[in-house]
Chains A and B, each alone.
Chain A
Protein backbone atom coordinates (compact mmCIF):
# COMPACT_ATOMS: atom_id res chain seq x y z
CA UNK A 1 0.00 0.00 0.00
CA UNK A 2 1.33 3.46 -0.83
CA UNK A 3 2.21 5.66 2.11
CA UNK A 4 0.19 8.82 2.67
CA UNK A 5 2.03 12.06 1.94
CA UNK A 6 2.87 14.18 4.96
CA UNK A 7 5.11 17.19 5.51
CA UNK A 8 7.06 15.66 8.36
CA UNK A 9 10.69 14.80 8.98
CA UNK A 10 10.95 11.59 11.02
CA UNK A 11 7.50 10.35 12.08
CA UNK A 12 8.87 9.48 15.50
CA UNK A 13 9.82 13.15 16.04
CA UNK A 14 6.51 14.61 14.85
CA UNK A 15 5.08 15.46 18.28
CA UNK A 16 8.25 17.03 19.66
CA UNK A 17 8.90 19.01 16.48
CA UNK A 18 5.30 20.27 16.52
CA UNK A 19 5.71 21.37 20.15
CA UNK A 20 8.93 23.19 19.32
CA UNK A 21 7.03 25.06 16.60
CA UNK A 22 4.10 25.88 18.86
CA UNK A 23 6.37 27.32 21.56
CA UNK A 24 8.40 29.25 18.98
CA UNK A 25 5.27 30.68 17.33
CA UNK A 26 3.42 31.66 20.50
CA UNK A 27 5.98 32.81 23.08
CA UNK A 28 3.57 35.44 24.47
CA UNK A 29 1.00 32.76 25.30
CA UNK A 30 2.90 29.55 26.03
CA UNK A 31 6.06 28.25 27.64
CA UNK A 32 7.33 24.92 28.89
CA UNK A 33 9.68 24.06 31.72
CA UNK A 34 13.18 22.96 30.66
CA UNK A 35 12.79 19.67 32.52
CA UNK A 36 9.30 18.99 31.10
CA UNK A 37 9.17 19.31 27.30
CA UNK A 38 5.70 17.69 27.12
CA UNK A 39 4.08 20.14 29.57
CA UNK A 40 2.72 23.34 27.98
CA UNK A 41 1.95 26.18 30.41
CA UNK A 42 -0.06 29.38 29.94
CA UNK A 43 2.14 32.48 30.19
CA UNK A 44 -0.61 34.54 31.89
CA UNK A 45 -2.92 31.84 33.25
CA UNK A 46 -1.75 30.45 36.57
CA UNK A 47 -1.76 32.73 39.59
CA UNK A 48 -1.76 32.47 43.35
CA UNK A 49 -5.10 31.56 44.88
CA UNK A 50 -6.61 30.37 41.58
CA UNK A 51 -7.69 26.81 40.87
CA UNK A 52 -5.39 25.36 38.20
CA UNK A 53 -7.19 23.78 35.24
CA UNK A 54 -4.95 21.16 33.67
CA UNK A 55 -6.08 19.43 30.48
CA UNK A 56 -4.35 16.94 28.24
CA UNK A 57 -4.39 13.88 26.08
CA UNK A 58 -2.89 12.48 22.96
CA UNK A 59 -1.53 14.60 20.12
CA UNK A 60 -3.19 14.68 16.73
CA UNK A 61 -6.29 16.63 17.82
CA UNK A 62 -4.79 20.12 17.48
CA UNK A 63 -5.83 22.77 18.42
CA UNK A 64 -7.10 20.46 21.19
CA UNK A 65 -5.45 20.42 23.77
CA UNK A 66 -2.51 22.84 23.68
CA UNK A 67 -4.40 25.48 21.70
CA UNK A 68 -6.80 25.99 24.61
CA UNK A 69 -4.07 26.83 27.12
CA UNK A 70 -4.25 30.52 28.02
CA UNK A 71 -5.72 33.10 30.34
CA UNK A 72 -9.39 32.41 31.00
CA UNK A 73 -9.18 28.82 29.84
CA UNK A 74 -6.74 26.01 30.74
CA UNK A 75 -3.60 26.82 32.73
CA UNK A 76 -1.57 23.94 31.36
CA UNK A 77 -1.76 20.88 29.15
CA UNK A 78 0.11 17.58 29.19
CA UNK A 79 0.88 16.32 25.71
CA UNK A 80 1.00 12.64 24.79
CA UNK A 81 2.17 10.80 21.70
CA UNK A 82 -0.19 10.70 18.74
CA UNK A 83 -3.58 9.44 19.98
CA UNK A 84 -1.96 8.22 23.23
CA UNK A 85 -2.40 9.53 26.75
CA UNK A 86 0.61 11.35 28.19
CA UNK A 87 2.39 9.36 30.91
CA UNK A 88 2.01 10.56 34.52
CA UNK A 89 5.22 12.63 34.57
CA UNK A 90 4.24 15.42 32.13
CA UNK A 91 0.78 15.53 33.74
CA UNK A 92 2.47 16.02 37.10
CA UNK A 93 4.87 18.60 35.60
CA UNK A 94 1.97 20.55 34.10
CA UNK A 95 0.08 20.51 37.39
CA UNK A 96 3.10 21.60 39.44
CA UNK A 97 3.77 24.51 37.07
CA UNK A 98 0.12 25.61 37.08
CA UNK A 99 -0.60 25.14 40.77
CA UNK A 100 -1.67 28.32 42.55
CA UNK A 101 -2.30 26.75 45.93
CA UNK A 102 -6.07 26.41 45.43
CA UNK A 103 -6.07 22.89 44.01
CA UNK A 104 -5.85 21.35 40.57
CA UNK A 105 -8.70 20.20 38.34
CA UNK A 106 -7.79 17.63 35.69
CA UNK A 107 -10.11 17.58 32.68
CA UNK A 108 -9.74 15.26 29.71
CA UNK A 109 -11.73 12.93 27.50
CA UNK A 110 -12.94 9.65 28.93
CA UNK A 111 -10.46 7.06 27.64
CA UNK A 112 -9.05 4.15 29.65
CA UNK A 113 -5.41 5.12 29.05
CA UNK A 114 -5.89 8.76 30.03
CA UNK A 115 -7.71 7.74 33.21
CA UNK A 116 -4.85 5.44 34.30
CA UNK A 117 -2.09 7.97 33.61
CA UNK A 118 -3.87 11.01 35.09
CA UNK A 119 -4.90 8.99 38.16
CA UNK A 120 -1.27 8.00 38.70
CA UNK A 121 -0.31 11.69 38.40
CA UNK A 122 -3.04 12.63 40.90
CA UNK A 123 -1.60 10.12 43.38
CA UNK A 124 1.87 11.62 42.88
CA UNK A 125 0.49 15.15 43.39
CA UNK A 126 -1.20 14.08 46.59
CA UNK A 127 2.22 13.06 47.92
CA UNK A 128 3.34 16.65 47.18
CA UNK A 129 0.40 17.97 49.21
CA UNK A 130 -1.56 19.22 46.18
CA UNK A 131 -5.21 18.28 45.87
CA UNK A 132 -6.21 17.14 42.39
CA UNK A 133 -9.76 16.40 41.26
CA UNK A 134 -10.88 14.98 37.93
CA UNK A 135 -13.78 15.66 35.60
CA UNK A 136 -13.96 13.43 32.52
CA UNK A 137 -15.67 14.72 29.40
CA UNK A 138 -18.27 12.37 27.90
CA UNK A 139 -20.03 14.38 25.20
CA UNK A 140 -19.99 11.85 22.31
CA UNK A 141 -23.60 10.66 22.26
CA UNK A 142 -22.84 8.06 19.56
CA UNK A 143 -20.36 6.19 21.75
CA UNK A 144 -22.78 4.67 24.27
CA UNK A 145 -26.49 4.82 25.10
CA UNK A 146 -27.89 7.63 27.25
CA UNK A 147 -28.19 5.44 30.35
CA UNK A 148 -24.44 4.72 30.09
CA UNK A 149 -23.47 8.40 29.78
CA UNK A 150 -20.47 7.94 32.10
CA UNK A 151 -18.89 5.47 29.67
CA UNK A 152 -19.07 7.79 26.66
CA UNK A 153 -16.02 9.29 24.97
CA UNK A 154 -15.02 12.93 25.24
CA UNK A 155 -14.71 14.61 21.84
CA UNK A 156 -15.14 18.11 20.33
CA UNK A 157 -17.47 19.26 23.11
CA UNK A 158 -14.26 19.59 25.12
CA UNK A 159 -13.97 23.11 23.71
CA UNK A 160 -17.11 24.37 25.46
CA UNK A 161 -16.69 22.19 28.55
CA UNK A 162 -13.08 23.24 29.15
CA UNK A 163 -14.06 26.85 28.44
CA UNK A 164 -16.80 26.81 31.10
CA UNK A 165 -14.46 25.34 33.71
CA UNK A 166 -11.63 27.69 32.73
CA UNK A 167 -13.92 30.68 33.12
CA UNK A 168 -15.04 29.50 36.55
CA UNK A 169 -11.42 29.13 37.63
CA UNK A 170 -10.51 32.55 36.19
CA UNK A 171 -13.44 34.11 38.09
CA UNK A 172 -11.90 32.86 41.34
CA UNK A 173 -14.32 30.04 42.08
CA UNK A 174 -13.19 27.44 44.64
CA UNK A 175 -12.13 23.94 43.59
CA UNK A 176 -15.56 22.60 44.62
CA UNK A 177 -17.28 25.23 42.50
CA UNK A 178 -15.04 24.81 39.46
CA UNK A 179 -15.60 21.05 39.62
CA UNK A 180 -19.36 21.57 39.85
CA UNK A 181 -19.39 23.92 36.83
CA UNK A 182 -17.24 21.44 34.87
CA UNK A 183 -19.63 18.54 35.58
CA UNK A 184 -22.63 20.72 34.80
CA UNK A 185 -21.08 21.84 31.49
CA UNK A 186 -20.27 18.25 30.53
CA UNK A 187 -23.78 17.04 31.36
CA UNK A 188 -25.30 19.65 29.03
CA UNK A 189 -22.98 19.17 26.03
CA UNK A 190 -23.82 16.80 23.16
CA UNK A 191 -21.64 15.86 20.20
CA UNK A 192 -21.96 13.51 17.26
CA UNK A 193 -19.71 13.15 14.23
CA UNK A 194 -19.39 11.54 10.85
CA UNK A 195 -16.21 10.36 9.13
CA UNK A 196 -15.71 10.31 5.37
CA UNK A 197 -12.16 8.96 5.28
CA UNK A 198 -9.52 7.47 7.55
CA UNK A 199 -6.59 9.38 8.99
CA UNK A 200 -3.00 8.16 8.99
CA UNK A 201 -0.50 8.31 11.84
CA UNK A 202 2.90 9.96 11.24
CA UNK A 203 4.74 6.77 12.23
CA UNK A 204 2.83 4.46 9.90
CA UNK A 205 1.59 6.82 7.14
CA UNK A 206 -1.11 4.27 6.38
CA UNK A 207 -4.88 4.77 6.70
CA UNK A 208 -5.82 3.68 10.23
CA UNK A 209 -9.00 2.00 9.06
CA UNK A 210 -10.60 1.02 5.78
CA UNK A 211 -13.53 3.17 4.62
CA UNK A 212 -14.41 2.45 0.99
CA UNK A 213 -15.02 5.31 -1.44
CA UNK A 214 -18.64 6.40 -1.44
CA UNK A 215 -19.25 5.43 2.17
CA UNK A 216 -19.36 7.32 5.46
CA UNK A 217 -19.36 6.21 9.07
CA UNK A 218 -21.77 7.82 11.52
CA UNK A 219 -20.53 8.17 15.09
CA UNK A 220 -16.84 7.64 14.31
CA UNK A 221 -14.54 8.50 17.21
CA UNK A 222 -11.77 11.08 17.03
CA UNK A 223 -9.10 8.37 17.00
CA UNK A 224 -10.77 6.49 14.16
CA UNK A 225 -12.66 4.19 16.50
CA UNK A 226 -15.45 2.67 14.45
CA UNK A 227 -18.82 4.34 14.89
CA UNK A 228 -22.35 3.06 15.07
CA UNK A 229 -23.19 2.56 11.39
CA UNK A 230 -21.55 2.59 7.99
CA UNK A 231 -23.56 3.47 4.91
CA UNK A 232 -23.47 5.27 1.58
CA UNK A 233 -22.53 8.95 1.77
CA UNK A 234 -25.62 11.17 1.76
CA UNK A 235 -26.03 14.94 1.14
CA UNK A 236 -24.94 17.32 3.91
CA UNK A 237 -28.49 18.21 4.93
CA UNK A 238 -29.48 14.56 5.40
CA UNK A 239 -26.39 13.79 7.46
CA UNK A 240 -26.86 16.97 9.51
CA UNK A 241 -30.51 16.07 10.11
CA UNK A 242 -29.61 12.64 11.43
CA UNK A 243 -27.05 14.11 13.84
CA UNK A 244 -29.36 16.95 14.93
CA UNK A 245 -32.26 14.51 15.45
CA UNK A 246 -30.09 12.54 17.87
CA UNK A 247 -28.77 15.62 19.68
CA UNK A 248 -32.15 17.37 19.99
CA UNK A 249 -33.85 14.18 21.21
CA UNK A 250 -31.33 13.76 23.97
CA UNK A 251 -31.05 17.46 24.88
CA UNK A 252 -34.82 17.85 25.39
CA UNK A 253 -34.66 21.66 25.28
CA UNK A 254 -37.71 23.91 25.51
CA UNK A 255 -38.54 26.56 22.92
CA UNK A 256 -36.77 29.77 23.93
CA UNK A 257 -33.75 27.97 25.39
CA UNK A 258 -30.29 29.13 24.31
CA UNK A 259 -27.43 27.04 22.95
CA UNK A 260 -23.80 27.31 21.97
CA UNK A 261 -22.95 25.44 18.77
CA UNK A 262 -19.74 24.06 17.29
CA UNK A 263 -19.44 22.66 13.78
CA UNK A 264 -16.02 21.05 13.83
CA UNK A 265 -13.75 19.67 11.13
CA UNK A 266 -12.01 16.37 11.84
CA UNK A 267 -9.03 17.71 9.90
CA UNK A 268 -9.45 17.46 6.15
CA UNK A 269 -12.99 18.75 5.70
CA UNK A 270 -12.88 22.41 4.57
CA UNK A 271 -14.76 25.43 5.90
CA UNK A 272 -17.05 25.42 2.85
CA UNK A 273 -18.52 22.10 3.94
CA UNK A 274 -18.63 23.12 7.61
CA UNK A 275 -20.69 26.22 6.75
CA UNK A 276 -23.03 24.16 4.55
CA UNK A 277 -23.58 21.98 7.62
CA UNK A 278 -23.98 25.03 9.85
CA UNK A 279 -26.69 26.46 7.57
CA UNK A 280 -28.76 23.34 8.17
CA UNK A 281 -27.95 23.29 11.89
CA UNK A 282 -29.22 26.88 12.15
CA UNK A 283 -32.48 25.92 10.42
CA UNK A 284 -32.97 22.93 12.71
CA UNK A 285 -32.30 24.94 15.87
CA UNK A 286 -34.63 27.74 14.73
CA UNK A 287 -37.36 25.20 13.95
CA UNK A 288 -36.98 23.83 17.46
CA UNK A 289 -37.37 27.37 18.81
CA UNK A 290 -33.81 27.53 20.15
CA UNK A 291 -31.63 30.64 20.13
CA UNK A 292 -27.97 30.36 19.15
CA UNK A 293 -26.07 32.44 21.68
CA UNK A 294 -22.64 31.58 20.33
CA UNK A 295 -21.39 29.65 17.29
CA UNK A 296 -17.97 28.26 16.40
CA UNK A 297 -17.18 26.85 12.95
CA UNK A 298 -13.78 25.41 12.13
CA UNK A 299 -11.16 22.86 13.14
CA UNK A 300 -11.31 22.74 16.95
CA UNK A 301 -10.88 19.06 17.71
CA UNK A 302 -9.32 17.19 14.83
CA UNK A 303 -8.22 13.68 14.07
CA UNK A 304 -5.03 14.36 12.08
CA UNK A 305 -6.03 14.32 8.39
CA UNK A 306 -9.36 12.56 8.75
CA UNK A 307 -12.19 13.87 6.55
CA UNK A 308 -15.44 14.41 8.37
CA UNK A 309 -17.16 16.71 10.80
CA UNK A 310 -18.88 16.78 14.14
CA UNK A 311 -21.67 18.89 15.56
CA UNK A 312 -21.69 19.93 19.22
CA UNK A 313 -24.53 21.67 21.02
CA UNK A 314 -24.18 22.98 24.57
CA UNK A 315 -27.55 23.57 26.24
CA UNK A 316 -26.96 26.88 28.03
CA UNK A 317 -28.43 28.20 31.23
CA UNK A 318 -27.58 31.53 32.86
CA UNK A 319 -24.44 30.20 34.50
CA UNK A 320 -23.08 28.40 31.43
CA UNK A 321 -23.86 31.42 29.26
CA UNK A 322 -21.80 33.57 31.61
CA UNK A 323 -18.93 31.08 31.42
CA UNK A 324 -19.06 30.92 27.62
CA UNK A 325 -19.11 34.74 27.43
CA UNK A 326 -16.12 35.10 29.77
CA UNK A 327 -13.05 36.29 27.83
CA UNK A 328 -10.18 33.97 27.11
CA UNK A 329 -6.89 34.50 25.30
CA UNK A 330 -5.16 31.34 24.08
CA UNK A 331 -2.67 30.80 21.30
CA UNK A 332 -5.28 29.24 19.02
CA UNK A 333 -8.56 30.47 20.52
CA UNK A 334 -9.59 33.95 21.64
CA UNK A 335 -12.96 35.13 22.84
CA UNK A 336 -14.30 38.48 24.02
CA UNK A 337 -12.25 40.77 26.24
Chain B
Protein backbone atom coordinates (compact mmCIF):
# COMPACT_ATOMS: atom_id res chain seq x y z
CA UNK B 1 0.00 0.00 0.00
CA UNK B 2 1.26 3.49 -0.81
CA UNK B 3 -0.96 5.25 1.66
CA UNK B 4 -2.93 4.31 4.77
CA UNK B 5 -6.61 5.14 4.23
CA UNK B 6 -9.45 5.08 6.74
CA UNK B 7 -10.74 1.90 5.11
CA UNK B 8 -7.25 0.44 5.32
CA UNK B 9 -7.10 1.27 9.03
CA UNK B 10 -10.49 -0.37 9.60
CA UNK B 11 -9.13 -3.46 7.85
CA UNK B 12 -6.05 -3.32 10.08
CA UNK B 13 -8.25 -3.49 13.20
CA UNK B 14 -10.01 -6.53 11.73
CA UNK B 15 -6.64 -8.26 11.29
CA UNK B 16 -5.62 -7.27 14.85
CA UNK B 17 -8.85 -8.83 16.15
CA UNK B 18 -8.15 -12.05 14.21
CA UNK B 19 -4.60 -12.22 15.54
CA UNK B 20 -5.63 -11.70 19.16
CA UNK B 21 -8.40 -14.29 18.83
CA UNK B 22 -5.84 -16.79 17.53
CA UNK B 23 -3.35 -15.99 20.30
CA UNK B 24 -5.86 -15.76 23.18
CA UNK B 25 -5.11 -19.04 24.92
CA UNK B 26 -1.35 -18.75 24.39
CA UNK B 27 -1.38 -15.27 25.99
CA UNK B 28 -3.54 -16.53 28.87
CA UNK B 29 -1.10 -19.36 29.53
CA UNK B 30 1.82 -16.92 29.50
CA UNK B 31 -0.07 -14.65 31.91
CA UNK B 32 -0.92 -17.61 34.15
CA UNK B 33 2.76 -18.12 34.88
CA UNK B 34 3.35 -14.64 36.34
CA UNK B 35 -0.06 -12.96 36.47
CA UNK B 36 -3.76 -13.72 36.55
CA UNK B 37 -4.18 -15.56 33.23
CA UNK B 38 -6.65 -13.13 31.68
CA UNK B 39 -4.45 -11.09 29.34
CA UNK B 40 -5.43 -13.05 26.23
CA UNK B 41 -9.11 -12.59 27.04
CA UNK B 42 -8.72 -8.83 27.48
CA UNK B 43 -6.80 -8.44 24.23
CA UNK B 44 -9.26 -10.59 22.29
CA UNK B 45 -12.27 -8.69 23.67
CA UNK B 46 -10.65 -5.30 23.20
CA UNK B 47 -9.55 -5.80 19.61
CA UNK B 48 -12.85 -7.47 18.70
CA UNK B 49 -14.72 -4.44 20.06
CA UNK B 50 -12.36 -2.05 18.26
CA UNK B 51 -12.80 -3.95 14.99
CA UNK B 52 -16.59 -3.96 15.39
CA UNK B 53 -16.83 -0.25 16.20
CA UNK B 54 -14.53 0.84 13.39
CA UNK B 55 -16.31 -1.37 10.85
CA UNK B 56 -19.57 0.38 11.77
CA UNK B 57 -18.26 3.84 10.87
CA UNK B 58 -19.53 5.61 7.76
CA UNK B 59 -17.16 5.77 4.74
CA UNK B 60 -16.44 9.48 5.34
CA UNK B 61 -14.75 8.73 8.69
CA UNK B 62 -11.24 10.17 8.99
CA UNK B 63 -8.23 8.28 10.31
CA UNK B 64 -8.68 10.11 13.61
CA UNK B 65 -12.34 9.07 13.72
CA UNK B 66 -11.29 5.44 13.26
CA UNK B 67 -8.64 5.60 16.00
CA UNK B 68 -11.05 7.39 18.38
CA UNK B 69 -13.79 4.81 17.79
CA UNK B 70 -11.29 2.01 18.39
CA UNK B 71 -10.11 3.67 21.62
CA UNK B 72 -13.59 4.07 23.05
CA UNK B 73 -14.68 0.54 22.10
CA UNK B 74 -11.51 -1.09 23.44
CA UNK B 75 -11.75 0.80 26.74
CA UNK B 76 -15.41 0.04 27.36
CA UNK B 77 -15.09 -3.63 26.43
CA UNK B 78 -12.09 -4.34 28.60
CA UNK B 79 -11.33 -2.01 31.49
CA UNK B 80 -8.43 -3.84 33.18
CA UNK B 81 -4.92 -2.42 32.56
CA UNK B 82 -4.89 -2.90 28.83
CA UNK B 83 -8.11 -0.86 28.35
CA UNK B 84 -6.80 2.54 29.46
CA UNK B 85 -3.36 1.81 27.97
CA UNK B 86 -4.53 0.88 24.46
CA UNK B 87 -7.32 3.49 24.49
CA UNK B 88 -4.71 6.17 25.19
CA UNK B 89 -2.44 4.68 22.51
CA UNK B 90 -5.18 4.87 19.86
CA UNK B 91 -6.19 8.41 20.87
CA UNK B 92 -2.56 9.57 20.53
CA UNK B 93 -2.19 7.87 17.14
CA UNK B 94 -5.45 9.50 16.04
CA UNK B 95 -4.13 12.89 17.02
CA UNK B 96 -1.00 12.37 14.90
CA UNK B 97 -2.99 11.02 11.92
CA UNK B 98 -5.41 13.90 12.28
CA UNK B 99 -8.72 14.45 10.48
CA UNK B 100 -7.39 13.14 7.17
CA UNK B 101 -8.81 10.43 4.91
CA UNK B 102 -5.37 9.01 4.18
CA UNK B 103 -1.68 9.47 5.00
CA UNK B 104 1.43 8.30 3.10
CA UNK B 105 2.78 5.02 4.52
CA UNK B 106 6.02 6.88 5.21
CA UNK B 107 4.14 8.62 8.03
CA UNK B 108 2.87 5.43 9.69
CA UNK B 109 5.96 4.88 11.89
CA UNK B 110 4.96 8.12 13.63
CA UNK B 111 1.65 6.48 14.54
CA UNK B 112 3.51 3.63 16.23
CA UNK B 113 5.70 6.10 18.11
CA UNK B 114 2.59 8.01 19.23
CA UNK B 115 0.98 4.82 20.50
CA UNK B 116 4.08 4.04 22.53
CA UNK B 117 4.11 7.54 24.00
CA UNK B 118 0.44 7.24 24.98
CA UNK B 119 1.02 3.93 26.73
CA UNK B 120 4.05 5.28 28.58
CA UNK B 121 2.15 8.40 29.69
CA UNK B 122 -0.91 6.49 30.93
CA UNK B 123 0.94 3.60 32.55
CA UNK B 124 3.81 5.67 33.96
CA UNK B 125 6.14 2.80 33.07
CA UNK B 126 9.83 2.96 32.23
CA UNK B 127 11.69 0.47 30.04
CA UNK B 128 13.15 -2.40 32.07
CA UNK B 129 10.16 -2.90 34.38
CA UNK B 130 8.94 -5.96 32.45
CA UNK B 131 5.78 -4.45 30.95
CA UNK B 132 4.37 -3.87 27.46
CA UNK B 133 6.55 -0.74 27.32
CA UNK B 134 9.55 -3.02 26.85
CA UNK B 135 8.14 -3.87 23.41
CA UNK B 136 6.61 -0.48 22.59
CA UNK B 137 9.62 1.67 23.56
CA UNK B 138 12.12 -0.05 21.23
CA UNK B 139 9.50 0.07 18.45
CA UNK B 140 9.07 3.81 19.04
CA UNK B 141 12.84 4.28 19.20
CA UNK B 142 13.27 2.56 15.84
CA UNK B 143 10.44 4.63 14.36
CA UNK B 144 11.98 7.89 15.56
CA UNK B 145 15.36 6.86 14.09
CA UNK B 146 13.70 6.51 10.70
CA UNK B 147 13.69 2.71 10.57
CA UNK B 148 11.26 1.00 8.20
CA UNK B 149 8.20 -0.89 9.43
CA UNK B 150 9.93 -4.27 9.25
CA UNK B 151 12.77 -3.05 11.49
CA UNK B 152 10.25 -1.47 13.88
CA UNK B 153 8.46 -4.81 14.25
CA UNK B 154 11.79 -6.57 14.80
CA UNK B 155 12.65 -4.07 17.55
CA UNK B 156 9.34 -4.76 19.30
CA UNK B 157 9.90 -8.51 19.01
CA UNK B 158 13.41 -8.25 20.46
CA UNK B 159 12.09 -6.06 23.26
CA UNK B 160 9.41 -8.59 24.15
CA UNK B 161 11.97 -11.43 24.12
CA UNK B 162 14.25 -9.44 26.44
CA UNK B 163 11.53 -9.26 29.13
CA UNK B 164 12.29 -12.90 29.97
CA UNK B 165 15.49 -11.76 31.68
CA UNK B 166 13.81 -8.93 33.61
CA UNK B 167 12.41 -8.82 37.13
CA UNK B 168 8.98 -7.16 37.18
CA UNK B 169 8.78 -3.94 39.20
CA UNK B 170 5.42 -2.63 37.94
CA UNK B 171 2.02 -4.21 37.38
CA UNK B 172 0.65 -7.38 38.87
CA UNK B 173 3.78 -9.45 38.30
CA UNK B 174 5.80 -6.96 40.38
CA UNK B 175 4.61 -8.77 43.50
CA UNK B 176 6.59 -11.80 42.31
CA UNK B 177 9.98 -10.13 42.37
CA UNK B 178 12.73 -12.55 41.39
CA UNK B 179 10.20 -15.27 40.60
CA UNK B 180 9.08 -13.29 37.55
CA UNK B 181 12.51 -13.79 35.95
CA UNK B 182 12.68 -16.39 33.19
CA UNK B 183 9.19 -15.69 31.82
CA UNK B 184 8.29 -13.27 29.05
CA UNK B 185 5.83 -10.54 29.98
CA UNK B 186 2.48 -11.30 28.29
CA UNK B 187 1.76 -7.60 27.75
CA UNK B 188 5.06 -7.18 25.91
CA UNK B 189 4.42 -10.32 23.86
CA UNK B 190 0.96 -9.12 22.73
CA UNK B 191 2.43 -5.66 22.05
CA UNK B 192 5.03 -7.18 19.72
CA UNK B 193 2.24 -9.12 17.97
CA UNK B 194 0.30 -5.87 17.48
CA UNK B 195 3.32 -4.02 16.09
CA UNK B 196 3.98 -6.98 13.77
CA UNK B 197 0.41 -6.75 12.45
CA UNK B 198 0.64 -2.98 11.98
CA UNK B 199 3.98 -3.34 10.17
CA UNK B 200 2.67 -6.11 7.97
CA UNK B 201 -0.54 -4.29 7.07
CA UNK B 202 1.09 -0.92 6.51
CA UNK B 203 4.21 -2.07 4.62
CA UNK B 204 4.37 -0.75 1.06
CA UNK B 205 4.95 -4.30 -0.22
CA UNK B 206 1.89 -5.63 1.59
CA UNK B 207 2.20 -8.41 4.17
CA UNK B 208 5.57 -8.50 5.93
Contacts and interface: CB of A to CB of B under 8 A. Distances in A.
Interface of A: 12, 58, 80-89, 111-113, 116-117, 120, 143-144, 151, 153, 201, 203-204, 206-210, 221, 223-226
B154 to A, nearest CB: 28
Contacts, number: 107
A117 B83 contact: yes
Contacts of B77: 87
Interface stretch (B25-33, B52-60, B105-113, B135-143): B25-33
10 contacts: A58-B79, A58-B80, A80-B79, A84-B38, A112-B123, A116-B85, A151-B174, A206-B25, A207-B32, A209-B32
Given A112-B170, A224-B32, A85 B179 contact: no
Nearest to A224: B36
B37 A201 contact: yes
Interface string B3-20: 000000000000000000
Contact of A116 (B34, B122, B175): B122
Contacts of A58: 79-80
B76 A111 contact: no
A305 to B, nearest CB: 13
B94 interface: no
A87 B172 contact: no
Nearest 4 CB-CB pairings of A with B:
A208-B37, A223-B36, A113-B81, A84-B80
Given A116-B123, A204-B25, A225 B79 contact: no
A120 B84 contact: yes
Nearest to A151: B174
Interface of B is mostly: helix
A225 B35 CA distance: 5
Interface in B154-207: 170-176, 179
B66 to A, nearest CB: 20
B14 to A, nearest CB: 19
Contact of B78 (A87, A207, A209): A87
A113 B80 contact: yes
A175 B82 CA distance: 31
A191 to B, nearest CB: 14
A87 B174 contact: no
A85 B79 contact: yes
Interface of B: 25, 28, 32-38, 40-42, 45, 75-85, 122-123, 170-176, 179
Contacts of A113: 79-84
Contacts of A208: 28, 32, 36-38
B32 A80 contact: no
A201 B77 CA distance: 17
B75 A209 contact: no
A12 B41 CA distance: 10
Contacts of B45: 12, 81
A221 to B, nearest CB: 7
A66 B123 CA distance: 27
Contact of A209 (B25, B33, B81, B84): B33
Nearest to B28: A204
Given A113-B80, A113-B83, A226 B37 contact: no
A201 B75 contact: no
B176 A226 contact: yes
Given A83-B38, A84-B38, 19 more contacts: A12-B45, A80-B79, A80-B80, A81-B45, A84-B80, A87-B76, A87-B83, A113-B82, A116-B85, A120-B84, A151-B174, A204-B37, A208-B28, A208-B32, A209-B33, A209-B37, A221-B175, A223-B172, A226-B34
A208 B29 CA distance: 7
A30 B49 CA distance: 29
A84 B79 contact: yes
Nearest to B180: A226
Nearest to A221: B175
Contacts of A221: 36, 172, 175
Contacts of B41: 81-82, 84, 201, 203-204
A112 B81 contact: yes
Nearest to A204: B28
Contact of B172 (A12, A89, A112, A206): A112
A85 B175 contact: no
A151 B76 CA distance: 27
Contacts of A144: 175
A81 B175 contact: no
Nearest to B80: A84
Contact of B176 (A89, A111, A201, A225): A225
Given A113-B80, A204-B25, A143 B175 contact: yes
Contacts of B40: 204
A111 B84 CA distance: 13
